[in-house]
């Protein structure tokens, strides 16, 4: 047999090459949130004088940065085909721990909450990866556990730990470099690293493989357990860091924060084009998704006439629209087959 001659006629064996429609659909799925974000920014700029200002956007970015840090880990988890519901509680717990430990200086204020978050992530990762338990249930347990721990160490919120006003930790939350808030810079840095890790490293490829087809991945020799454990540890670390930053900005560890944060994080990730069933997505979209949530909120505040509660309604609506559009798009991509 001559090996030069191609003996697979892919055009006939596989159906048509991806059509232009499918390519466009892929693009829209990846960058849809960004497009909507730009449209809203322009529209907002035209409608309100105070919207497209350095001051307003800078503030908005700082507010959004805490959620953004959480969503970075969440993106990894969702790409791997999992979910992490514990991030909101871990976020709050880390904030309180950071405030508490700030009395001993910067390093403990960082290390204590990060260590606790990482351990919670590790425990969840082991249960999910090693023992094959469902991520939803395990991290729901993590959510209750972290929240309970928080209630315990704060006497059900009765004792509030303050960060000393001169603590260097405060700078992480409220400092500015060249007029840009430090949390925003941290987010930019983390997303650059996150994007690199997801798109350019073996670990990233493993996440996509796991999320795409876990059984096949295992058969192909991917270290499934290790990859999953690492992912939940990273997610825990992200939530912990976000909590530290938030506490640093507020100047105290507040126990009531972070309730429902995990749902906002999931919403932002999904709006950003990462598919909830895993195997497809990226951090750029997630960042756009976070920005979108906050821009919608700000535009509603700016308008003044709309009740602030409408923000939730609109965000919810956007989420549903995104999910519907995603489903339609992925059907287009698969060429309408069932």
Partner 1 sequence: MTEPVLEALGVEKRFAGVRALAGVDLTVRPGEVHALVGENGAGKSTLIKVLTGVYQPDAGELRYQGAPVRFAGPPDAQAAGIATVYQEVALVGSMSVASNLFLGREPRRFGMIDFPAMRKSAAKLLAELGIDVDPARELRTLGLGVQQMIAVARALHSDARVVIMDEPTSSLEPREVDTLLALVRTLAERDVAVVYVSHRMDELYRVCDVVTVLRDGAVVHTGPLAELDRVRLIATMLGRDIAEVRREGSTAFSGEHETEDEPVLAAHELRRSTVLDGVDLEVRPGEVVGLGGLLGSGRSETVQALAGLQRLDSGAVEVNGQPVRPGSAAAAIRAGIVLVPEDRKVEGLVPNLSVRENIVLAALPRLSRLGVVSRAKQDAVVRTFMERLQIKASSPDQRVSELSGGNQQKVMLARWLAMSPKVLLLDEPTRGIDVGVKAQVQQLVDELADQGLGIVMVSSDLEELVEGADRVVVLRDGKSISQLRGDEVSVDAVLAEIAADAAEEVGS
Question: Are the C-beta atoms of residues 291 and 89 closer than 8 Å to each other?
Answer: no
What does each C-alpha distance from 107 to 93, 122, 162, 238, 245 come to in angstroms? 17, 22, 16, 17, 14
Q: Which of 279, 282, 285, 289 binds partner 1 (CB under 8 A)?
A: 279
131 binds partner 1 (CB under 8 A): no
Stretch that binds partner 1, among 46-54, 132-140, 219-227, 287-295 (CB under 8 A): 219-227
Q: Which of 10, 305, 307, 309 binds partner 1 (CB under 8 A)?
A: 10
The site that binds partner 1 (CB under 8 A) totals a number of residues, namely 42
Q: Which of 126, 205, 259, 323 binds partner 1 (CB under 8 A)?
A: 205
- Which of these, 194, 244, 209, lies nearest to 71 by C-alpha position? 194
Q: Which of 53, 159, 201, 301 binds partner 1 (CB under 8 A)?
A: 201
- CB nearer partner 1, residue 85 or residue 209: 209
Q: Quick one: tokens of 308?
A: 């602030």
316 binds partner 1 (CB under 8 A): no
Question: Are the C-beta atoms of residues 130 and 225 closer than 8 Å to each other?
Answer: yes
Alpha carbon 72 to chain centroid, angstroms: 4
3-state secondary structure of 2: coil
Phi/psi of residue 286, each to 5°? -60, -45
5 binds partner 1 (CB under 8 A): yes
Q: Which of 305, 307, 309, 336 binds partner 1 (CB under 8 A)?
A: 336
Question: Are the C-beta atoms of residues 219 and 96 closer than 8 Å to each other?
Answer: no
- Which of these, 278, 273, 263, lies nearest to 211 by C-alpha position? 278
| Site track 34-63 with partner 1 (rule: CB under 8 A), x = hit | ------------------------------
Note the maximum CA span of the chain: 81
Which residues have a Cβ under 8 Å from the Cβ of 263 and sit 6 or more positions away?
Answer: 88
Q: Which of 7, 54, 131, 152 binds partner 1 (CB under 8 A)?
A: 7
- Which of these, 37, 22, 25, lies nearest to 286 by C-alpha position? 37
256 binds partner 1 (CB under 8 A): no
- CB nearer partner 1, residue 30 or residue 280: 280
Stretch that binds partner 1, among 32-40, 158-166, 216-224, 284-292 (CB under 8 A): 216-224
4 binds partner 1 (CB under 8 A): yes
Q: Which of 208, 236, 269, 293 binds partner 1 (CB under 8 A)?
A: 208
Count CB atoms within 10 A of the CB of residue 9.
8
Phi/psi of residue 162, each to 5°? -100, 150
- CB nearer partner 1, residue 8 or residue 178: 8
Count CA within 13 A, CB hemisphere, residue 19. Answer: 12
Q: How far is the CB of 274 from partner 1 (least distance, A)?
A: 12
309 binds partner 1 (CB under 8 A): no
Buried b (16+ CB within 10 A) or exposed e, 16-39: eeeeeebeebbebbbbbbbebbee
218 binds partner 1 (CB under 8 A): yes
- CB nearer partner 1, residue 94 or residue 209: 209
- CB nearer partner 1, residue 185 or residue 225: 225
Q: Which of 103, 216, 301, 327 binds partner 1 (CB under 8 A)?
A: 216
Q: What is the DSSP secondary structure assignment for residue 275, as one 8-state letter?
A: -
Q: Given CA atoms 324, 330, 333, 337 in this order, what sign does their dihedral have?
A: negative
- CB nearer partner 1, residue 3 or residue 158: 3
- CB nearer partner 1, residue 165 or residue 221: 221
Residues near partner 1 (CB under 8 A) are: 1, 3-10, 12-15, 18, 196, 200-202, 204-206, 208-209, 211-213, 215-223, 279-280, 334-338
């Amino acid at each position: 047999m001559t090996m030069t001659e191609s003996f697979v006629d892919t055009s006939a064996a596989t159906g048509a090459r991806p059509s232009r429609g499918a390519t466009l659909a892929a693009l829209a799925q990846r960058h849809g949130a960004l497009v909507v974000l730009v449209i809203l920014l322009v529209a907002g700029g035209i409608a309100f004088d105070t919207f497209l200002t350095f001051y307003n956007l800078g503030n908005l970015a700082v507010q959004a940065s805490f959620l953004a840090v959480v969503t970075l880990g969440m993106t990894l988890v969702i790409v791997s085909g999992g979910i992490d519901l514990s991030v909101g509680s871990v976020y709050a717990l880390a904030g309180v721990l950071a405030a508490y430990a700030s009395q001993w200086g910067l390093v403990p204020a960082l290390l204590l909450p990060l260590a606790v978050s990482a351990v919670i992530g590790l425990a969840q990762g082991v249960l999910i990866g090693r023992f094959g338990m469902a991520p939803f249930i395990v991290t729901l347990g993590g959510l209750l556990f972290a929240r309970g721990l928080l209630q315990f160490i704060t006497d059900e919120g009765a004792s509030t730990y303050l960060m000393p006003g001169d603590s260097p930790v405060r700078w992480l939350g409220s400092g500015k470099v060249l007029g840009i808030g430090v949390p925003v810079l941290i987010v930019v840095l983390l997303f650059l690293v996150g994007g690199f890790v997801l798109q350019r490293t073996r670990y990233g490829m493993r996440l996509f493989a796991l999320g795409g087809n876990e059984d096949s991945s295992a058969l192909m020799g991917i270290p499934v357990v290790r990859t999953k454990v690492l992912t939940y540890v990273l997610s825990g670390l992200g939530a912990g860091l976000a909590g530290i930053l938030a506490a640093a900005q507020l100047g105290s560890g507040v126990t009531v924060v972070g309730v429902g944060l995990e749902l906002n994080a999931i919403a932002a990730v999904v709006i950003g084009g990462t598919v909830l069933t895993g195997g497809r997505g990226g951090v750029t979209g997630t960042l756009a998704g976070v920005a979108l949530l906050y821009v919608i909120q700000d535009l509603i505040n700016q308008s003044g006439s709309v009740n602030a509660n409408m923000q939730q309604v609109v965000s919810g609506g956007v989420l549903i629209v995104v999910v519907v559009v995603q489903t339609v798009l992925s059907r287009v991509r698969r060429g309408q087959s069932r």
